[in-house]
Amino acid sequence: PQPIHLSDYRPPAHRVTRTELTFDLDPGATRVKARLHLERHPEREAGEPLWLDGESLVLKSIAIDGQALDADEYEQSDNGLRVHRVPEQFILDTEVEIAPSENTALEGLYQSGGMYCTQCEAEGFRRITFYPDRPDVMATFTTTVIGGRDQEPVLLSNGNPVERGELPNGRHFVTWQDPHPKPCYLFALVAGDLKKVEDHFTTMSGREVTLQIWVEEENLGKTEHAMESLKRSMRWDEEAYGREYDLDLFMIVAVNDFNMGAMENKGLNIFNSAAVLTHPQTATDATFQRVEGIVAHEYFHNWSGNRVTCRDWFQLSLKEGFTVFRDQSFSADVNSAPVKRIEEVSFFRTAQFAEDAGPTAHPVRPDQYIEIGNFYTLTIYEKGAEIVRMLCNLVGEEKFREGSDLYFSRFDGQAVTIEDFVTCMAEVSGLDLTQFMHWYRQAGTPEIDAFGEYDYANGQYRLLLRQRTPATPGQSDKVPLHIPVRLGLVGTKSGRDLPLTLDGESLGTDAVVHLREQEQEFLFTDVDEAPIPSLLRGFSAPVKLAFPYSREDLAFLLANDSDGFNRWDAGQRLTLLALDDLIAAHRNGVEKVMDSRVVDAFRVLLEEDTNDKAVLAEMLTLPSEAYIAEQQPLVDVDAIHAAREFVRQSLARELRDELLAVYRANQSDAAYEPTPEQIGQRALKNVALSYLMSIEDEEGVEAAKAQFDADHNMTDVRHALTLLVHSSRADIADPALKAFGQKWANDTLVMDQWFSLQVTRPQPDALERVRYLMQHPAFSLKNPNKVRALIGAFAGQNRINFHRLDGEGYRLLADVVIELNRLNPEIAARIITPLTRWQRFDEQRQDLMKAELERIRQEDLSPNLYEVVTKALA
Ligand code: DPP
Ligand code: ZN
**Which atom of ligand 1 is nearest to 294's Cα?**
4
What pLDDT score was predicted for residue 481? 98
In which residue ranges of the chain is pLDDT below 50? none
C-beta separation of 721 from 729 below 8 A: no
Instruction: Mark which of 126, 161, 193 sits at the end of a domain.
Output: 193
Residues 331, 414, single domain; the answer is yes
Which amino acid makes up residue 184? Answer: C
Residue owning the nearest CA to atom 1 of ligand 1: 263
- Supply the DSSP symbol for 217: G
Short-list 425, 434, 244, CA closest to 318: 425
pLDDT tens, 429-440? Answer: 999 999 999 999
Residues 362, 466, single domain; the answer is no
**Which atom of ligand 1 is nearest to 381's Cα?**
7
Q: Any idea which ligand is nearest the CA of 275?
A: 1
Cβ atoms within 10 Å, residue 295: 28
Residues 37, 185, single domain; the answer is yes
Which amino acid makes up residue 85? Answer: R
The best mutation among 125, 264, 308, 325 to test binding of ligand 1, ranked by most ligand atoms within 8 Å of the C-beta, falls on: 264
Asked if residue 189 is part of any domain, the answer here is yes
> H or E stretch including 80?
strand 80-83
**Which atom of ligand 1 is nearest to 297's Cα?**
4
Look at the pTM and tell me if it is higher than 0.95.
Answer: yes
Q: Which residues are catalytic?
A: 298
CA of 319 to the centre of ligand 1 (A): 9
Residues 145, 120, single domain; the answer is yes
CA of 623 to the centre of ligand 2 (A): 28
How far is CA 22 from each of CA 165, 265, 659, 707, 832, rounded to the nearest angstrom?
A: 14, 18, 63, 54, 38
Asked if residue 470 is part of any domain, the answer here is yes
506 backbone dihedrals φ, ψ, rounded to 5°: -85, 125
CA distance 792 to 427: 45
Q: Any idea which ligand is nearest the CA of 322?
A: 2
> Residue 853: which CATH number?
1.25.50.10
> Residue 430: which CATH number?
1.10.390.10
Residues 349, 384, single domain; the answer is yes
Residues 420, 530, single domain; the answer is no
Residue owning the nearest CA to atom 2 of ligand 1: 263
> H or E stretch including 554?
helix 551-560
Asked if residue 257 is part of any domain, the answer here is no
Instruction: Mark which of 541, 557, 574 sits at the end of a domain.
Output: 541
How remote is the C-alpha of 409 from its chain's centroid? 28
> Residue 473: which CATH number?
2.60.40.1840
Q: Any idea which ligand is nearest the CA of 121?
A: 1
The best mutation among 252, 265, 291, 320 to test binding of ligand 1, ranked by most ligand atoms within 8 Å of the C-beta, falls on: 320
**Which atom of ligand 1 is nearest to 301's Cα?**
4
Q: Is 479 exposed, middle or buried (0-12, 13-18, 19+ CB in 10 A)?
A: exposed
701 backbone dihedrals φ, ψ, rounded to 5°: -60, -45
**Which atom of ligand 1 is nearest to 262's Cα?**
1
C-beta separation of 142 from 33 below 8 A: no
CA distance 341 to 343: 5
Residues 805, 761, single domain; the answer is yes
Q: Any idea which ligand is nearest the CA of 323?
A: 2
- Supply the DSSP symbol for 770: H
The best mutation among 263, 266, 295 to test binding of ligand 1, ranked by most ligand atoms within 8 Å of the C-beta, falls on: 263
What pLDDT score was predicted for residue 697? 97
Residues 398, 520, single domain; the answer is no
Q: Is 228 exposed, middle or buried (0-12, 13-18, 19+ CB in 10 A)?
A: middle
Residues 408, 505, single domain; the answer is no
Ranges of H-type helices in 622-697: 625-631, 637-654, 656-665, 676-694
**Pocket, ligand 1, Cβ cutoff 6 A:** 121, 260, 262-264, 297-298, 301, 320
Residue owning the nearest CA to atom 6 of ligand 1: 263
CA of 457 to the centre of ligand 2 (A): 54
Ranges of H-type helices in 270-383: 285-300, 316-334, 337-347, 353-356, 378
Residues 758, 824, single domain; the answer is yes
C-beta separation of 865 from 832 below 8 A: yes
CA of 275 to the centre of ligand 1 (A): 12
Asked if residue 560 is part of any domain, the answer here is no
Whether the bond between 122 and the residue before it is cis, its omega within 30 degrees of 0, is yes
CA of 727 to the centre of ligand 1 (A): 38
> Residue 111: which CATH number?
2.60.40.1730
| Count of domains forming the chain | 4
CA of 340 to the centre of ligand 2 (A): 18
Residue owning the nearest CA to atom 4 of ligand 1: 263
The best mutation among 265, 376, 381 to test binding of ligand 1, ranked by most ligand atoms within 8 Å of the C-beta, falls on: 376
Cβ atoms within 10 Å, residue 37: 16
Residue owning the nearest CA to atom 7 of ligand 1: 320
Residues 96, 79, single domain; the answer is yes
Q: Any idea which ligand is nearest the CA of 183?
A: 1
What pLDDT score was predicted for residue 683? 98
- Supply the DSSP symbol for 364: S
418 Ramachandran zone, left/alpha/beta (phi>0; psi -120 to 50): alpha
C-beta separation of 300 from 319 below 8 A: no
User: Which structural domain range is residue 144 located in?
Assistant: 4-193
Asked if residue 144 is part of any domain, the answer here is yes
C-beta separation of 31 from 23 below 8 A: yes
CA distance 845 to 634: 12
CA of 257 to the centre of ligand 1 (A): 15
CA of 616 to the centre of ligand 1 (A): 32
Residues 380, 499, single domain; the answer is no
Instruction: Mark which of 487, 513, 541 sits at the end of a domain.
Output: 541
